[in-house]
Amino acid sequence: MKNFAKRVLFFIFFIALLLTAVYLGFDLKSNPYILTKMDNQVIESEGKYLIPGGQTIGVELKTEGVLVVGLADIINTDKLSISPAKIAGVQIGDKILAIDSIEIEDTDDILEYTNNQGVKNYSLEIEREGKIFNLNITPVQIYKSNEIKFGFWARDDIAGIGTVTFIDPETGKFSAIGHGISDSDTGSLIDIESGTISKANITSIKIGKKGEPGEIIGYILKDEDSLGTVENNTDFGIYGNINKQSLGFFSNNLIEVGKKEEIKLGKAQIYSCVNNEIQIYDVEITKIFYQNKPDEKSFVIKIVDPELLELTNGIIQGMSGCPVIQNNKMVGAVTHVFMNDPTKGYGIYIEWIFDEIYSNSNKFDI
């Protein structure tokens, strides 16, 4: 009898263990945080409400110093092809901070100073991978011209189209883009000195294809006042301060912040403005990544909304930053599209963005 009772108890225990394993196995698949006690706590966001974004905006950034984006050979007065920049050791991605100890803010500063000084030896203060050093470089005069050239291409500003993720009504801070803005020539995250966001007008949509990302095509409405100022360019997007008088451009609705532990596989929505007005489109969260440190690829979404698929064929450039909503909570933002399947892309946990903003800046009143 005792042996029978032991067998029954063992059988009950085994069935309970099996059911628990099946249940937790499903839950772990749908949310990998269910059994974890997180030590990497982010800035507290529980009970926090935000103004959802989705608006397409123009972004204009002024870089710190002048960024070298290319090297070139020059035909000098002796008809020889030469690149003084290459000879001096200048590299693509270098940031020119000063010339002859004179601080440089833009390319015009370089042109004005060197045109006045002519051909001579110049000392460039360069920043490369966080290290500061000096390079000596002598430009050459172009064949059959009075112009002098160093043999590098440079720029000091960047402009493009992106999407607002959220505005914090308590502080006036905004987040946009969802991923860092990198130089297209160097791939490096761009250090910025200042920047603005403004209203933008969408003129057309380039539909995404396999191996060829689509794009929102439009222009920045420069005749209107800016919506806000950009404070920083980070791996998780840009953030800054919304102008108080511009708050009317955004929704009056508030939405609660969702924690990564709450995200589940399945139905969700994104807010987007690809048709020049904000719409809510259906998506599915198809994969969730466990992350013990912030990363811009936190989960995978698939566009399933027929209207959005007809407009864009999926995720296109300019949609980065679109807020991702699940169960009436903002859980993340769109970051990247899959090159081999434009209907799919990555999202980032909203907590990672929130933490980036408030761990690196102070709150303020608008």
Nearest CA to 165 among 101, 250, 89, 74?
250
Q: Which burial class, exposed, middle or buried, applies to 169 when counting CB atoms under 10 A from its CB (0-12, 13-18, 19+)?
A: middle
Amino acid making up residue 327: N
Running DSSP on this structure, what letter comes out for residue 112?
A: H
Choosing from 94, 156, 168, 305, the catalytic residue is: 305
Contact in structure between 122 and 100 (CB atoms under 8 Å): yes
Contacts of 187 (CB under 8 A, 6+ apart): none
In three-state secondary structure terms, 159 is: strand
Contact in structure between 302 and 286 (CB atoms under 8 Å): yes
> How far, in Å, are 64, 178, 281, 298, 327 from residue 256 at the CA level?
36, 18, 19, 19, 10
Choosing from 179, 198, 298, 355, the catalytic residue is: 179
Nearest CA to 89 among 148, 141, 150?
150
Amino acid making up residue 116: N
Contact in structure between 58 and 198 (CB atoms under 8 Å): yes
Choosing from 168, 298, 320, 355, the catalytic residue is: 320
What is the Cα–Cα distance from 214 to 313, expressed in whole angstroms? 8
User: How many residues would you count in the chain?
Assistant: 366
179 is catalytic: yes
CA dihedral 185, 352, 48, 275 (to 10 degrees): 40
305 is catalytic: yes
- First-residue to last-residue Cα distance in the chain: 77
Contact in structure between 115 and 35 (CB atoms under 8 Å): no
336 is catalytic: no
> How far, in Å, are 141, 153, 188 from residue 116 at the CA level?
13, 20, 33
Give the residue numbers annotated as catalytic, written as ranges.
Answer: 179, 305, 320
